[in-house]
Amino acid sequence: MALPRRELRELRELRELRELRELRELRELIERVDEQDRVVGVVDRAEAISRHWLHRIATTVCRDPEGRILVHRRANDMSRFPGQYHWLAGGAVDIGETYEQAAARELGEELGVVSAAPRFLFKYLCRGEISPYWLGVHETVLTDPVTPDPAEISWYAWLTEDELQEAVRRRPFVSDGRDVLRRYLDQRPYGTSVR
């Protein structure tokens, strides 16, 4: 007895979803986007980087209640920018995610923070050191303790803006982060609190 068309279609869709999940476990699939940040396809992140295809990254400026900024050193065995310092937490936007959803997810993965609600600040087309990408920048105040993932973060500290700017001049910071810091500081009205 043959199944009705609708049931066959649903079975096919379920199989495709299962295959996509299995494929995602093997590779990091992301959305490839165009110059206007419109989705044009799904690709492997490594391929997007190697071919310089546009994709999406979401980051968050993490501040404590005193206004200091979380700065961290990337683990030495990270595939990108090993051992370098960074002042943003974040990563690739998953398929179907918004920048805000990705920023919140990355805070949980990297810092063990699940209660934060990152606030979107701005996005721009970043001509990154290893690949171009659309970068969504967010901000949040963390009141809960952070528990960084040691596979991603080997050290962290809370720095004032002045201390951060001095560290950026003296330490090996992720190059793209330097550009974002300038934009972040420039986009705020002078003297305005970011909390």
Q: 21 in a domain, yes or no?
A: no
DSSP alpha helices (H): ranges in 135-174? 161-170
Q: 148 in a domain, yes or no?
A: yes
Cα separation, 32 vs 17, in Å, equals 19
The CA-to-CA distance between both ends of the chain, in Å, stands at 64
User: Residue 19, annotated ligand binder?
Assistant: no
CATH number of the domain where residue 142 is located:
3.90.79.10
Q: 6 in a domain, yes or no?
A: no
Are 70 and 62 in contact by the 8 Å Cβ rule? The answer is yes
Predicted confidence at residue 194, as pLDDT, reads 42
Q: 117 in a domain, yes or no?
A: yes
Cα separation, 56 vs 132, in Å, equals 9
Q: 182 in a domain, yes or no?
A: yes
Residue 8 contacts by C-beta under 8 Å, 6 or more apart in sequence?
Answer: none
Whole-prediction pTM: 0.81
Predicted confidence at residue 14, as pLDDT, reads 62
Confidence at 180, pLDDT banded by 50, 70, 90: very high
Q: 17 in a domain, yes or no?
A: no
Choose among 102, 88, 97, 103: nearest CA to 152. 88
Lookup: tokens for 146 = 């952070």
Cα separation, 38 vs 155, in Å, equals 36
Count of other CB atoms within 10 angstroms of residue 75 = 16
Lookup: tokens for 135 = 């970068």
Quick one: what percent of the chain has pLDDT higher than 70?
A: 85
Cα separation, 90 vs 170, in Å, equals 23
pLDDT tens, position by position, 124-134: 999 988 899 99
Domain containing 74 equals 30-187
Domain count, the chain: 1
Q: 195 in a domain, yes or no?
A: no
Confidence at 118, pLDDT banded by 50, 70, 90: very high
Q: 45 in a domain, yes or no?
A: yes
Predicted confidence at residue 16, as pLDDT, reads 67
Predicted confidence at residue 19, as pLDDT, reads 59
User: Residue 106, annotated ligand binder?
Assistant: yes
